[in-house]
A and B are shown apart, each in its own frame.
Chain A
Amino acid sequence: MSSSVYYRFRSQLEPSRVTFDGTGITVFEMKREIILANELGDGTQFELKLYNADTNQELDDDTTIIPRSSSVIAVRGPPVRPKHGTAVRYVSGSMKFFQKYSSKQ
């Protein structure tokens, strides 16, 4: 049986959802699904942030699991460095790669 997590871009009225198998989805996978579903491109031109819809806490750790049936708010902002948006890693990078990368920080 497939599960869903709901998301809404902060400026949007209507929510959309991402479906997956299992009890939760990582922030990394969630961002990747949102980028692909909305054809946001290669990720170099923006940053994508997710917030817990109830607490407004930013979900800034890619390994955090978002439980199924919950809701998040997505915010697409300009790249911190022009043309070098970090969202690129959700499109090209693998989860493993990112974990290694983040543990170094």
Chain B
Amino acid sequence: MTVVETSDGEVLEFIALGGGNEVGRSCHIIKYNGKTIMLDAGVHPAHTGLACLPFYDEFDMSTIDILLISHFHLDHAASLPYVMQHTAFKGRVFMTHPTKAIYRWLLSDFVRVSSITPRSSNAAPVLFTDSDLQQSFDKIEPIDYHSTIDVDGVRFTAYHAGHVLGAAMYFIELGGLKLLFTGDYSREEDRHLSAAEVPPESPDVLICESTFGTAVHLPRREKESQLMSIISSVIDRGGRVLLPTFALGRAQELLLVVNDYWKSHKSIQNTPVYFASNLAKKALTVYQTYTSMMNESIRKQFRDAQSNPFHFQYIKSLRSLDSFFDAGPCVMIASPGMLQSGTSRELLERWAPDNRNAVIITGYSVEGTLAKDIVSEPLQIPSMRDSSVLIPRRCMVEEISFAAHVDYKHNSEFIDLVKPKHIILVHGESSPMGRLKSALLSKYNSLKGTEQEIKIYNPRDCEILQIPFKAPKPAKVVGI
């Protein structure tokens, strides 16, 4: 049992209920000076049923004062209705306005998709229902970037994190201690979002994503031209291109890239491009509403042309595969991104046996999903309906990441700018996270034993990390 007594205000306690040495079910607890804050409430995309939840049984949920959601991705937000409706949690919940707007569409889709999955007769509880979602939704408090919220002495501010629309980093102050939680973040401006900001103050503790570890990305322009050259060569040989992607977020960036290429290449314009997502139309309105939170180039297009940059001239939106006439070369952007089930999986199974076709993985794939496995080019893939049925895979498999997580270069530059004293690594599989830790330790080796020493931690799920602080703090009140 790892339920922890309230700390005396001089020791920071950090516990990852999820996202410790893994990517998925992001959920971290920080306790200091009698306050308890939860960061994110995600699900794990590779696990089913209750197993996709963070390890909520290992923590007394009734003690949480504040829950901050970094962004709308399922691995950061999808267990929120469960936390609010089915546990003893009674704290306040905050997220940015665009996150809240998109969260609603995504989660009702999540409910719909998870209730299709056949359930065993012993009445397995679905994680949450539509009415759980409705009932909890109004209690979520939307916040603006750059405005500081004070909840009984805990102050926090959201900063732009890049990554996806609405994504926030949280700068948190409690009892004289300053923390920065990056969430998922990107330091490279892309077609629609600005790079993550560097908050004006240095935190004592940085809770930092480590998805790509020590890997270094190609510049965005190079990735875009690689992607387009693969797509055009597949079309030239009469093949179909499948781009599995999560319906909202990075999909919009891909759509901008593809649409732009079609616009400037007349010869390819008779090849159809489809976006198979029943969220696409709803998403369009949200993306239109929040162009003001995107980068200058999008804002300019929106102002000057009076047009919605997310209305794509060369991309047909498909509500379902029933209305799709599969005849000849095409490009299909379809969800889900990790090929677990749904439209992208169905098309993969249909197209995998033909060697003219290609599947291009552009997102981050979590361990245990087909998107992760297919990159190693297996000769067969399991059928979604019956995993004992194997489908030959002759189609080409490529991976070009548009995942919008920092690489080593950007992550370590950001850390230098932020100047934390302690770094807690989260949101990374063990090996890349371990490599990142070693790289940072050797980078800061010369500071060891000095005042500027930087301590780095990579705790596993439910491991209790205690960091003592001598930082100035208000008078200690026992028993809060």
Whose C-beta in chain B lies nearest to the C-beta of A39?
B49
Asked whether B297 is an interface residue with its Cβ less than 8 Å from the other chain, the reply is no
- Give the contacts of B438-480 with A (CB-CB under 8 A): 460-462
Judging by beta carbons under 8 Å apart, are B55 and A45 in contact? no
Alpha-carbon separation in the docked complex, A17 to B86 (Å): 16
How many whole Å from A31's CB to the nearest CB in chain B?
Answer: 14
Segment touching A, from B105-113, B121-129, B164-172, B298-306: B121-129
Do the beta carbons of B47 and A41 come within 8 Å of each other?
yes
Report B-chain residues with C-beta under 8 Å of the C-beta of A9.
50, 56-57
A12 touches B86 (CB 8 A): yes
Binds B, one of A21-29, A60-68, A76-84, A96-104: A76-84
Question: How far apart are the CA atoms of A52 and B277 in the complex, in Å?
Answer: 47
Q: Which residue of A lies closest to B85 (CB)?
A: A13
A100 to B: closest C-beta gap in Å: 28
A11 and B87 contact, CB distance less than 8 A: yes
The answer to whether the Cβ of B88 comes within 8 Å of any Cβ in the partner chain is: yes
Query: Beta-carbon contacts of B77-119 to A below 8 Å, as 1s and 0s?
Result: 0000000001110000000000000000000000000000001
A44 to nearest B CB, angstroms? Answer: 10
A39 touching B119 by the CB < 8 A rule? yes
B462 touches A78 (CB 8 A): yes
Given contacts A36-B122, A74-B57, A75-B57, contact A13 B86 (CB under 8 A): yes
Q: Are B86 and A76 in contact (CB under 8 A)?
A: no
Report the minimal beta-carbon distance from A42 to chain B, rounded to whole angstroms: 9
CA A14 to CA B82, docked complex, whole Å: 12
Q: How many residues of B contact A (CB 8 A)?
A: 27
Q: Is B48 an interface residue (CB 8 A)?
A: yes
**Whole-angstrom distance between the alpha carbons of A74 and B125 in the complex?**
15
Provided the pairs A77-B57, A78-B460, A82-B430 are in contact, do residues A16 and B125 lie with their beta carbons within 8 angstroms? Answer: yes
Given the known inter-chain contacts A16-B125, A36-B122, please indicate yes or no for A41 contacting B55, CB distance below 8 A.
no
Are B460 and A45 touching (Cβ within 8 A)? Answer: no
A77 touches B58 (CB 8 A): yes
A94 to B286, CA, bound (A): 52
Is B264's CB within 8 Å of the partner chain A? no
A89 CB–B CB distance under 8 Å: no
Do A76 and B55 have beta carbons less than 8 Å apart? yes
B51 interface hit (Cβ, 8 Å) = yes
Shortest distance between the CB of A13 and any CB in chain B (Å):
6
A11 to B462, Cβ gap below 8 A?
A: no
Residues of B contacting A39 in the complex (Cβ-Cβ under 8 angstroms):
48-51, 119-120, 124
CA A74 to CA B120, docked complex, whole Å: 19
* B259 proximal to A (CB < 8 A): no
Q: Are the CB atoms of A37 and B123 closer together than 8 Å?
A: yes
Distance in angstroms between the alpha carbons of A11 and B82 in the assembled complex? 10
Q: Is B291 an interface residue (CB 8 A)?
A: no
B1-26 vs A, CB cutoff 8 Å, 1 = contact: the mask equals 11000000000000000000100000
Q: Is B140 an interface residue (CB 8 A)?
A: no
Contact of B49 among A10, A11, A12, A40 (CB under 8 A): A40
Instruction: Enumerate chain A residues within 8 angstroms of B2, measured Cβ to Cβ.
Output: 77
Task: Say yes or no: is B145 at the interface (Cβ < 8 Å to chain A).
Answer: no
CB distance from A28 to the nearest CB of B (A): 17
Provide a sorted-by-A list of 14 A–B residue pairs whose CB atoms are within 8 angstroms: A9-B50, A9-B56, A11-B87, A13-B88, A14-B86, A19-B122, A36-B120, A45-B47, A45-B51, A75-B58, A76-B50, A76-B55, A77-B462, A82-B460
- Which 3 pairs between the two chains have the least Cβ-Cβ distance? A39-B49, A11-B56, A78-B461
A residues neighboring B (CB under 8 Å): 9-14, 16, 18-19, 33, 36-41, 45-46, 74-78, 82
Could you list which residues of chain B lie within 8 angstroms of chain A, going by C-beta atoms?
1-2, 21, 47-51, 55-59, 61, 86-88, 119-120, 122-125, 430, 460-462
Name 14 extra pairs, CB < 8 A, besides A38-B51, A38-B125, A78-B460.
A13-B88, A16-B125, A36-B120, A37-B120, A38-B50, A38-B124, A39-B48, A39-B119, A40-B49, A41-B48, A41-B49, A41-B51, A76-B50, A78-B461
